[in-house]
Amino acid sequence: MFLADRVAVFSARPGTIKEIIEIEEPHPRKPAFMTSEKFTTLRNQLYGLLHDEIRKAVIQSTASERDAARKGAGGSAS
């Protein structure tokens, strides 16, 4: 965020652009930007978007592993 003009947040599988965050801060950015309220707000917004996608990816992965284990258990019983 310190260097970018915008940040693209991708969704969990399938990867599509979920949101593009514009960083409306003039260049060159001073180090004080990283401790500003604006930076904190942007960081929290991005963290929230990423957290949602990570949670979805973990849920999908867990469900896929569980399904694979069920198929494997069912196949070995035959």
Where do the domains of the chain lie? 6-76
**pLDDT score at 74:** 65
Proportion of the chain above pLDDT 90, given as a percent: 46
Q: What is the pLDDT of residues 40-52, one digit of tens each?
A: 999 999 999 888 8
Does position 75 have pLDDT exceeding 60, yes or no? no
58 to 20, 34, 36, 64, 75: CA distances (angstroms): 23, 30, 32, 10, 25
Amino acid at position 2, single letter: F
